[in-house]
Amino acid sequence: MHYKITHYCSHEKEYTQKIDLTEETLQRRLKNTLCEDCFINEQKKLYNKILENANTLAELKGENHEILWAEKIRAKAFLEIESSLQQMNNNLASLSIEQKEAFAHNITELEQAIIALRAETNAINWLKTSYMSGHTLITNIIKKNRELIETSNKTDN
């Protein structure tokens, strides 16, 4: 079955109904989202912004020999993050609606994690992460941020 949906970005797109979603569900979900093209454009813009920011890093603080090592560790971590972001970016077009929804949510967390990593200027703290991959670093920060949000939600209630 084919039908048309006007997206949030005001572009009209035609869809073929998928077996796992009713037309009503799909209509409701899609009309508040960007169309495929706009979604990909927006994500690319955001990724470029993240990558751009990742390349301008603050000066590290600590003893000279610590800073030398820490700079190497940090550079490696950001290279890994950069390459996995680019990989994800290349796969955007093949994502399902569900994956895109999850992705759009995660990208905020991802951006926050990268901002937090960039803000880390203590050389000692970077030395402590020497055995971690860029992916692990990011995942740990996202986990910690989620815990912080959960804790503050509990306090609010």
Residues that bind Zn ion in the complex, under the rule CB under 5 A: 9, 11, 35, 38
Tokens, residue 2: 């084919």
Cβ distance to Zn ion smaller for residue 9 or 26: 9
Q: How far is the CB of 1 from Zn ion (least distance, A)?
A: 22
Report the nearest approach of Zn ion to the CB of residue 41 (Å).
8
Structure tokens at 138: 């990011």
Nearest in space to 104 (alpha carbons), one of 120, 117, 88, 125: 88
Radius of gyration of the chain from its Cα atoms, rounded to whole angstroms: 20
Q: Closer CB to Zn ion, residue 3 or residue 53?
A: 3
Residue appearing with tokens 């200027």: 121
- Of the pair 35, 113, the CB lying nearest Zn ion is at 35
Closer residue to Zn ion, CB minimum distance, 10 or 153? 10
Distance CA 121, CA 70 (A): 9
Q: Give φ, ψ of 12 to 5 degrees.
A: -95, 130
From the CB of 30, what's the least distance to Zn ion, in Å? 11
Least Å from the CB of residue 97 to Zn ion: 15
